[in-house]
Structure 1
């Protein structure tokens, strides 16, 4: 492999991925040190209050609890279905790799020989597949919680509010991981058409995620009041 054919891929694609990874590392740090400045910290705080509130008056709030969990299951199901459909579509495209290569070879920058094109598809498929797995695991935890949250409370029961909260946190953590993998795969999809598109789309993705992950307003509560462990 000659350097002049691959230097753009070796520079712009890793730099774009490192940009997304560095943003999530910084977001994780902010979620631990200033949890109420991020949507993750506030959401975790609300969920830890939600589970005991549902259990305390489950006879009247059981429909509300089931509907909320059903909505989460539907969201994870949609994302899992979309991810596996994209995998199937990419599999169909891979079967016609040579025709695709012939089309894009005259329109993109960077390397586009058979090896690189196969590597691109393999990386994209792996990310979407792991996103699918995260969402399916999230659905399994939510289904488990869907049953246990309506069980009668007993002093000797092992199904406590703390246990149910842990199940919900695991489900949301897997859901979040699946979503972030799904979002991070879109810049790599554009890698098929050139490394520059991957780099610029990574920048746009970080800007969009920043506006979604951080909140404005009162975030003066101390980190000692609550430290989220779901991100």
Structure 2
């Protein structure tokens, strides 16, 4: 009887996590092999020319550069704040008495013992903490880049265009990783209502992320890329 309470969690939760992991492993492979087919690869390819364009006329474009960095920092700050607020809420639930969570067991499929509930909340809490950590580091690198982009470049100076691109790359990569951890934790929030909803939401999330991650192909109209300016 005890196994019947756990088998849905043991089967569906790993399947949902495996589906999410498989998609991101395939996305990483596409970014490495066909970067221009993905939004991540396109953005990475355009960061170096953008930095070069900003540095080429920094007197006129400094406001644009600072505003761009500010928008990136605001996005990371929003996600970091959301992650830490969810961590605080989950920590509050964990510290509450078991009697408060017990009424949920009548409507939850799968295992819903005290140990299982703690495992659910600790798993979700851990993912949100790592998401907060990645977004915090992203803000750090973005702040450094926004500070240094207006500094004068000297021939023998440590500050170079490559250094600025490296800072921007690190900030964007950490922001992407933090977002993906956050997205991965969202289906697990439904684990309190049963493992079936976690699996279904993981299945739905894959096509949603696919449409966000890959560049849509234009319909063939007889024109080549050289004909389109």
TM-score normalized by the length of structure 2: 0.93
2:102 is matched with 102
CA contact (8 A) 1:58 1:150 kept: yes
CA deviation profile, 1:169-212 (whole Å, cap 9, x unmatched): 00000000000000000111001110000000001111110110
Does the alignment pair 1:198 with 2:198? yes
C-alpha displacement of 1:34: 1.2
Q: Distance in 2 between matches of 1:103 and 1:39?
A: 45
Residues 61-210 of structure 1 aligned to structure 2 (within 5 Å): 61-210=61-210
Whole-angstrom CA distance in 2 between matches of 1:74 and 1:35: 26
Mapped partners of 1:217, 1:153: distance in 2: 40
Aligned pair count reads: 220
SS of 1:216's equivalent? coil
Q: Distance in 2 between matches of 1:97 and 1:119?
A: 15
Of residues 91-100 and 163-172 in structure 1, the stretch that sits farther from structure 2 once superposed is 91-100
Q: Are the equivalent residues in 2 in contact too, given 1:13–1:198 (CA < 8 A)?
A: yes
Offset at residue 100 of structure 1 (A): 4.1
Q: Classify 1:68/1:181 alpha carbon distance in 2 versus 1 (closer, same or farther; 3 Å).
A: same
Cα displacement (A) at 1:97 = 4.6
- The runs of 5 or more residues in structure 2 that have no matched partner are 219-223
Residue 101 of structure 1: how far off its partner (Å): 2.9
Are the structure 2 counterparts of residues 51 and 79 from structure 1 closer, same or farther at C-alpha, using a change threshold of 3 Å?
same
Q: Matches of 1:124 and 1:113 in 2, distance apart?
A: 17
Query: Structure 1: any 5+ residue segments left out of the alignment?
Result: 222-231
Q: Which segments of structure 1 move beyond 3 Å, counting only runs of 4 or more?
A: none
Q: Please say if residues 54 and 62 of structure 1, whose CA atoms lie closer than 8 Å, have aligned partners that are also in contact.
A: yes
RMSD: 1.5
Query: Which protein, 1 or 2, shows the higher relative CO under an 8 Å CA cutoff with sep ≥ 6?
Result: 1
TM-score by length of structure 1 reads 0.92
Report the Cα offset of residue 58 of structure 1: 0.7
Q: Give distance in 2, aligned partners of 1:17 and 1:204.
A: 13
Work out the CA distance in 1 between the residues paired with 2:216 and 2:68.
26
Q: What does residue range 24-35 of structure 1 map to in structure 2 within 5 Å?
A: 24-35=24-35
On the 8 A contact 1:12/1:195 being kept in 2, the answer is yes
Evaluate the alpha carbon distance shift between residue 118 and residue 2 of structure 1 in structure 2; reply closer, same or farther with a 3 A threshold.
Answer: same
CA contact (8 A) 1:101 1:112 kept: no
1:229 maps to none
CA deviation profile, 1:126-171 (whole Å, cap 9, x unmatched): 0000000000000000111111111101111111111100000000
